Amino acid sequence: MLLETLRAYGSRRLAEAGEQEQAESALAGHALAVAGQAAAALATGTGEQAGARWLDAEDATTRQAQAWAMGHDPVIAVRLAVALAPWWYLRGRLAGEYPRLREAAGHAVPGSDVWCAAHFWLGWAALFSVDLAGALEHFTAVCNTVGDRVQSRALVDCLSGRAVTLVNLDRSGEALGDARRALALARELGYPAGEVLALTVMTVGTYAAGHFDPAVQLARQAERIPADIPGWIARQSSSVLSLALMMAGDFAAAKRSCTAGLAQARDAGDLRDLATQLLIMVRLDLQARRFEDAGWHLRELLEIAVQTDSRLDLFNGLEACGHLCAATGRRADAVTVWAAHAESMRHAELAEPAREARRREEPLRQARQALGDARTRAAEDRGAAMSLATAAEYALMLTTSGAAPPEPAELAGLSARERELITLVAQGRTNAQIAAQLYISVNTVSSHLDRIRDKTGARRRADLTRLALTAALV
């Protein structure tokens, strides 16, 4: 707060002296120099932590510089965004920075190095937002623009990115074709980071096609490449090895690999890889019937997903939560969570990979048999009514409680209409949508919510959502 006050005061003094434009330009140049040096450090494993901490400390400066550059110097804006993108990735901010990065990319010359880099990171941002069509568009744009005229590292990177996207679209054959092309080109160019990334993607495509032992061999091959490559690529390769070992049935080796990967991700502050490793650990915990450990790991995964607004991690977390509930006898909760997951996937216009649907078939059949038709339908309807954010809050509650808690005392003094409003908030409705549904004005909705907040002490919409879930209003 003090820093913002000082910055506002300084801006006023500069404006009074007629020097603000010059000062803002100088700040943008300084921010670009800092980001460029930090990005160079982030491109190595040995310099990664120092580069990331430098950008952590300069976050306010780079934000101010980029905001100014977007309106005054588009060249600096796009170069600064591309330099910051690896750090955004590391800190789990890439998906949230998608609009800013896309706007900046619009100022770059198609086919230029900075344009290619911008679309590479835009592709990853779209993947974490589960916008698979958008990811495919960004990676393919680079492949089509530079692929026929120059063999470059950018082409290697975007071929690998497109391959990851194709795997998520259940198009493993095409994915492996792109990954093999990326691997061959990386070796031709002497580009170790691109070689590791391509082998990692080949591993994913291979186990997605059901070939688990060859997938482990590919992951081991990537692990043996000696080079000081970007930490995020090395850790991504490590997490894929953990997954391949698990899929191959070598659970002890998978746990050792995943435990080491979790420690590395925590040390680096790599929220992206941490979420991936946590998901693998949840599945290993469930396989070994370590249900308490599974709950703790799943809760951390969901907290990261909410913090970083990663729909990919939210979808994965909901799917895993359903399996945890089914394994611990909470069949109605399992049905509810899986219904919320399915509804969220439908809204995102995504088709679930067949292998994930198959994993759920037997526990879902058992849950339906135990619950009966009426209770199953009620559980499904409850899940289908949840927004993705509400489903995430519900899953977070389920990771720390084995049975439904009693109705919160805060709800005791609420009227039926006030309970109805809390329910609609928990379903993800905006004030305008609530007003339209209840045939009242937006101001009336705001007044009702203010009274509810005064009665319950729940100041944020997320707090109201938790109340509604605890009381089974949703």
Domain ranges of the chain: 308-404, 409-470
Is the pTM above the cut of 0.85?
Answer: no
If you write DSSP's letter for every residue of 4-60 in order, what string do you get? HHHHHHHHHHHHHHT-HHHHHHHHHHHHHHHHHHHHHHHTSSSSHHHHHHHHHHTHH
Distances (CA, A) of 202 to 143, 147, 207, 360, 414: 18, 20, 9, 26, 56
Under DSSP, is residue 158 helix (H, G, I), strand (E, B) or coil? helix
In CATH, what number does 409-470 get?
Answer: 1.10.10.10
Q: What are phi and psi of 224, to 5 degrees?
A: -90, -5
Between CA 329 and CA 398 the distance in angstroms is 12
**Under 8 Å between Cβ of 298 and 324:** yes
Distances (CA, A) of 258 to 198, 215, 229, 293, 323: 21, 16, 20, 14, 20
**Under 8 Å between Cβ of 461 and 423:** no
Under DSSP, is residue 443 helix (H, G, I), strand (E, B) or coil? helix
Question: Which amino acid appears at position 199 of this protein?
Answer: L
Under DSSP, is residue 170 helix (H, G, I), strand (E, B) or coil? coil
The closest alpha carbon to 469, from 317, 345, 337, 367, belongs to: 337
Distances (CA, A) of 314 to 14, 31, 296, 376: 45, 33, 16, 23
What six digits make up the tokens of 188? Answer: 């031709």
- Write down the pLDDT at residue 18: 56
**Under 8 Å between Cβ of 279 and 265:** no
Alpha-helix residue ranges (DSSP H) falling in 225-353:
231-247, 251-268, 271-287, 291-308, 311-327, 331-347
**Under 8 Å between Cβ of 367 and 331:** yes
- Write down the pLDDT at residue 468: 77
- Write down the pLDDT at residue 259: 93
Between CA 126 and CA 11 the distance in angstroms is 36
What is the separation of C-alpha 94 from the centre of its chain, rounded to a whole number of angstroms? 8
Residue 426's CB: how many other CB atoms inside 10 A?
26
- Write down the pLDDT at residue 14: 47
Between CA 258 and CA 288 the distance in angstroms is 14
**Under 8 Å between Cβ of 403 and 441:** no
Between CA 3 and CA 23 the distance in angstroms is 17
What six digits make up the tokens of 461? Answer: 């919409």
- Write down the pLDDT at residue 12: 55
Tens of each residue's pLDDT in the chain, 474 residues: 444 554 555 555 545 555 557 778 888 889 999 999 999 999 998 999 999 999 999 998 898 888 888 888 988 999 999 999 999 999 999 988 999 899 989 989 998 999 999 999 999 999 988 889 999 999 999 999 987 566 789 999 999 999 999 998 888 889 999 999 999 999 999 999 999 999 999 999 998 888 999 999 999 999 898 888 999 999 999 999 999 999 999 999 999 999 999 999 998 999 999 999 999 999 999 999 899 899 999 999 999 998 888 888 999 999 999 999 999 889 999 999 999 999 888 887 777 777 777 888 899 899 899 889 999 999 999 899 888 888 998 999 888 754 444 455 566 677 777 888 888 888 788 888 888 887 778 888 888 888 888 887 777 787 788 777 776 677
What is the separation of C-alpha 356 from the centre of its chain, rounded to a whole number of angstroms? 19
The closest alpha carbon to 8, from 53, 64, 81, belongs to: 64
Question: Which amino acid appears at position 193 of this protein?
Answer: A
Question: DSSP code of 430?
Answer: -
Radius of gyration, alpha carbons of the chain: 24
Question: DSSP code of 460?
Answer: S
If you write DSSP's letter for every residue of 203-227 in order, what string do you get? HHHHHHTT-HHHHHHHHHHHHT--S
Question: DSSP code of 108?
Answer: S
